[in-house]
Structure 1
Amino acid sequence: MNQPIKKIAVLTSGGDAPGMNAAIRAVVRACTYYRIDCVGVYRGYQGLIEGDFEQMSARHVSNVINRGGTILKSARSLEFKTKEGRVKAYENLKKEGVGALIIIGGDGTFTGGLKFIKEFDFPIVGIPGTIDNDIYGTDNTIGYDTALNTVVEVIDKIRDTASSHNRLFFIEVMGRDAGFIALNTGIGAGAEEILIPEENIGLEKLVDSLKKGREKGKTSSIVVVSEGDKIGKNVFELADYIGENYPDYDIRVSVLGHMQRGGSPSCYDRVLASRLGVAAVETLLDKKSGVMVGVTNNEVSKVGLENAIKMNHEINKELLKVAEITSI
């Protein structure tokens, strides 16, 4: 990174998350502020390979801060996993005169970026955009707060019908490897039990908790289940087991799925994305590469992409205790 950067490219990759557009907007406008050209890359790494670029000015990102999804689109690229694909991507960047790249996404996005840096010594900075909040090196990822609000709103509506019909609802939320969404929304929505990959409570404890709730006069219950929970193969198998062995429960299952990724980003996510977009550009201008920008204790922080991928963002043990105490 000896040469001054004159043009920065930005892309979004992997699963979309509310607030990605706010991050794109901040990157583009920070480039404008620092008198650097900015190029948007459509469809993530696949767009790099195909040279699907567009020059972007501050006006290109007007009225996008409130929009969910990503205006640059996103795609998973099998071709980028090959050396030939990455060579094409590198050649397109050089042909376009791009001197550095900002990647917005999760661990898969960062893994691809890290490999690209090692092969071509190309300057890259990552911005964490995923609703799962499973990236090390930042207190929150872009999209996480919005997803929490979406899930809590839905659970509140489900509780209305659960109470009306004296039903037990199993509600599956996203989180294949991490239970951040389940734990926080479970507390926020007053769930009777929360099942997450990090804490395998087992069937016995789950059944005991439901029985105690009945004995205390609870006529309906909400169980929030992270999709990566280890009890049973999936939420439907878990619900079937409870139904077969405890037929007095009137059980329903709701899988919230991709609705958790959609919607207008919350104010928190808009501000977070704006801070990280500006920080990413400034990090590249400071001649730093191979890092992810995040926010820790309300201060912009940086962590190596390798650590962001390999190290675990730990579940807050205090929240586990809060969940146990408040669910009785």
Structure 2
Amino acid sequence: MSTVKHIGVLTSGGDSPGMNAAIRAVVRAALYYDVKVTGIMRGYEGMINGELFEMDRKSVANIIQRGGTILKTARSEAFKTTEGRKKAYENLKAHGVDALVAIGGDGTFTGANIFISEFDVPVIGLPGTIDNDLVGTDFTIGYDTAINTVVQAVDKIRDTAESHDRLFIVEVMGRDSGLIALRSGIGVGAECILIPELKTDINELFNRLEYGRKDKASKIIIVAEGDEAGGAFEVAKNVKERFPNYDTRVSVLGHIQRGGSPTCMDRVLSSRLGVAAVEALLEGRKGEMAGVVNGHVEFTPFKNAIKHISELNPGLLKLVEILSL
């Protein structure tokens, strides 16, 4: 029998749509199994500062459709220190919390991995990040919403691009990962997609623009913010120098990609993983991230989950080449 009687739940790092749905699932699953549940405000920082409060069914009513996180989120420098983690542990014990569900990305799981090596508090992680760059899940919480946000925004931009025969260079989030750019770029029919995982050949970009379809009224280039070419403004500068006759414009989508009501896919994913996390703790699991792989819930050790995906799906890359003609 599990000794877990009181679960704490927190969100940490960058927010992502679906985090509230995950919180809701954790709370209701815990109560279903007659386990007490406590919310921790502002992630690890709140755990250090003692920002803990008991949650019940009403605490998570009417939040499944909301973006952001009702528990707030923060990055904690103090949690990187031994003293900070010790204080966090003492606060958990003072409130009777004996297990944690941590919703976040690689920074969240890195901190959790260190924490469980020092103290007797099992932790299960949920992949809450729009970047979809964690190993051990086909999709992370918030990714589907983020790419749909990009697609909706670029569809609107293309209306203007076609009306004025313009070339738009659109920058999307992805400092280390180009997965948002890749999938959304395919979805909007971009002429070119520039991502951090692949070396940018600016001359290849020029060739596509020069020898591509001449009758296209609009052209869209999607650039991940971490691309080695230097982001959308630097790419635009190069394009303007090479093609001064093009009416070239830049649009940086920025943080709108993090917000908004989560898609149905993200709500269902969050709900499945939230329940799975509670059940995993009750089964005695710890130090693992819950994810969905090929339709099934799977668990991946934190140390493996936080390794960024460096090899992109070659099939998607081939799609870009074929469909941009």
Category of TM-score, reference length = shorter chain = over 0.9
Q: Which residue in the other structure is 2:21 paired with? A: 22
1:260 partner amino acid: Q
Q: Which residue in the other structure is 2:255 paired with? A: 258
Q: Out of 268, 271, 275, which is 2:272 matched to?
A: 275
C-alpha RMSD of matched pairs (Å): 1.1
Q: Map 1:44-59 to 2 at 5 A.
A: 44-59=43-58
How far, CA to CA, are the matches of 1:314 and 1:11 in structure 2? 30
CA contact 2:169–2:221 (8 Å) conserved in 1: yes
Q: Aligned in 2, Cα 1:175/1:290: closer, same or farther, shift over 3 Å? A: same
How far, CA to CA, are the matches of 2:259 and 2:212 in structure 1? 34
CA contact 1:182–1:225 (8 Å) conserved in 2: yes
Q: Which residue in the other structure is 2:239 paired with? A: 242
Q: Map 1:1-328 to 2 at 5 A.
A: 4-214=3-213, 216-231=214-229, 233-310=230-307, 312=309, 314-328=311-325
Deviates more, 1:115-124 or 1:265-274: 115-124
SS of residue paired to 1:38: strand
How far, CA to CA, are the matches of 1:46 and 1:153 in structure 2? 35
How far, CA to CA, are the matches of 2:40 and 2:159 in structure 1? 44
SS of residue paired to 2:59: helix
Measured against aligned partners, the alpha-carbon deviations of 1:88-132 in whole angstroms (never above 9, x if no partner) come to: 000000111111011000001111101101111320000000000
CA contact 1:137–1:313 (8 Å) conserved in 2: no
CA contact 1:103–1:126 (8 Å) conserved in 2: yes
Provide TM-score, normalisation by structure 1: 0.97
In structure 2, stretches of 5+ residues that fail to align are none
SS of residue paired to 1:222: strand
SS of residue paired to 1:131: coil
SS of residue paired to 1:300: strand
SS of residue paired to 2:130: coil
1:219 partner amino acid: A
How far, CA to CA, are the matches of 1:8 and 1:112 in structure 2? 18
**Structure 1 residue 238: Cα displacement:** 1.5
Measured against aligned partners, the alpha-carbon deviations of 1:199-218 in whole angstroms (never above 9, x if no partner) come to: 2241010000111125x322
1:178 partner amino acid: S
CA contact 1:30–1:281 (8 Å) conserved in 2: yes
How far, CA to CA, are the matches of 1:261 and 1:311 in structure 2? 19
1:189 partner amino acid: V
How far, CA to CA, are the matches of 1:47 and 1:113 in structure 2? 14
CA contact 2:223–2:231 (8 Å) conserved in 1: no
Q: Aligned in 2, Cα 1:274/1:3: closer, same or farther, shift over 3 Å? A: closer
1:66 partner amino acid: Q
Q: Aligned in 2, Cα 1:49/1:63: closer, same or farther, shift over 3 Å? A: same
Q: How many residues end up aligned between the 2 structures?
A: 325
- Indicate the percent of aligned positions where both proteins have the same amino acid: 61
CA contact 1:239–1:251 (8 Å) conserved in 2: yes
SS of residue paired to 2:116: helix
How far, CA to CA, are the matches of 2:145 and 2:217 in structure 1? 31
In structure 1, stretches of 5+ residues that fail to align are none
**Structure 1 residue 310: Cα displacement:** 2.4
SS of residue paired to 2:274: helix
**Structure 1 residue 3: Cα displacement:** 6.3
How far, CA to CA, are the matches of 1:108 and 1:252 in structure 2? 35
CA contact 1:152–1:185 (8 Å) conserved in 2: yes
How far, CA to CA, are the matches of 1:295 and 1:116 in structure 2? 25
CA contact 2:224–2:231 (8 Å) conserved in 1: no
Provide TM-score, normalisation by structure 2: 0.98
How far, CA to CA, are the matches of 1:234 and 1:275 in structure 2? 36
1:222 partner amino acid: I
Q: Aligned in 2, Cα 1:171/1:311: closer, same or farther, shift over 3 Å? A: closer
**Structure 1 residue 311: Cα displacement:** 5.2
SS of residue paired to 1:310: coil
